[in-house]
């Protein structure tokens, strides 16, 4: 029997629906409409598509979308001035600066210029510190989406062994912290980890986010384990381009208990959680109850 295929696309649609309902309630009861500002510097094609999709889904959820598209030669001080204006704009509850930024900009300085309460990407050093100490924070979207999928599948995660493969600040480190906060026993593996295959085989929950196509094979996976594949890799195969994950799906699906596909697994959850974070940020700044099950 093969693994259960986790329908991230369908789950994300449900999250967006719940966000839209909560936004409609905010409007009718309090006269408040959450606003999300997205800043894009340059003309990276993938970023342009991503920003466009964010704008569409923001408006579909009933929120206001503010899009700021700046030329690649924009000076860092000009970008910081824009962020400062958005920080003080009461109609903007969430700010996202699309990465990567041009080489002449310091991404850390730009991210840390965002008001932490409006940092819906969850990358600001203050939010990182709050999450790391178990306090209320804005949580990075992709790890939050993974946690939602795991909660939906398992309910209580207490006591489960979790292995996170990768150690980036954007996905893997916050993912590990979220799992630790959920009372899992967590190990972070990376390129220098010894006996990584055996370590992966110990996991009840295996999260792969290394950016290496099909790195993790079925014989790395504990029978019945839940596999969350965050990787999105474009490869050429049989004369055409296709997207594959960091997990070799065909072999893993024969061993795992549940697995996210690529595409259609974790990817759709990222924008859904961005909308959820914007809603959460809006509720917090107005002192209103946060929506249930839409944050960590």
Catalytic residues: 54, 98, 121
Q: Do the bridges between strand 240-244 and strand 161-165 make them parallel or antiparallel, or are there none, so unpaired?
A: unpaired
- The CA dihedral of 128, 294, 182, 144, to the nearest 10 degrees, is -50
Residue 265 CA to chain centroid, in angstroms?
Answer: 12
Rounded distance between C-alpha atoms, residue 244 and residue 187, angstroms: 24
CB 110 within 8 A of CB 76: yes
Tokens standing for residue 27: 């409007």
């Amino acid at each position: 029997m093969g693994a259960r295929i986790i329908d991230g696309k369908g789950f994300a649609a449900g999250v967006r629906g719940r966000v839209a309902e909560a936004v409609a309630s905010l409007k009718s009861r309090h006269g408040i409409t959450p606003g999300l500002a997205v800043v894009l510097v340059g003309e990276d094609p993938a970023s342009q598509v991503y920003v466009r999709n964010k704008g569409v889904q923001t408006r579909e959820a009933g929120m206001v979308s503010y899009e700021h598209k700046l030329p690649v030669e924009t000076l860092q001080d000009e970008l910081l001035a824009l962020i400062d204006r958005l920080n003080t704009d009461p109609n903007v509850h969430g700010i996202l600066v699309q990465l990567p930024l041009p080489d002449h900009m310091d991404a850390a300085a730009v991210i840390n210029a965002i008001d932490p309460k409006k940092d819906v990407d969850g990358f600001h050093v203050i939010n990182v510190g709050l999450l790391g100490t178990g306090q209320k924070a804005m949580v990075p979207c992709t790890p939050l989406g993974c946690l939602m999928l795991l909660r939906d599948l398992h309910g209580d995660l207490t006591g489960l062994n979790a292995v996170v493969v990768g150690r980036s600040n954007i996905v893997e480190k916050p993912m590990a912290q979220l799992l630790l906060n959920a009372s899992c026993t967590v190990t972070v593996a990376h390129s220098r980890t010894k006996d990584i295959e055996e370590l992966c085989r110990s996991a009840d929950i295996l999260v792969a986010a290394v950016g290496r196509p099909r790195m993790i094979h079925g014989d790395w996976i504990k029978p019945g384990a839940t596999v969350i594949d965050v990787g999105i890799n474009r490869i050429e195969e049989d004369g055409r381009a296709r997207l594959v994950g960091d997990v070799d799906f065909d072999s893993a699906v024969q061993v795992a208990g549940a697995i996210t596909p690529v595409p259609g697994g974790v990817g759709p959850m990222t924008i859904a959680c961005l909308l959820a974070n914007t809603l959460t940020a809006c509720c917090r700044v107005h002192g209103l109850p946060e929506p249930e099950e839409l944050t960590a």
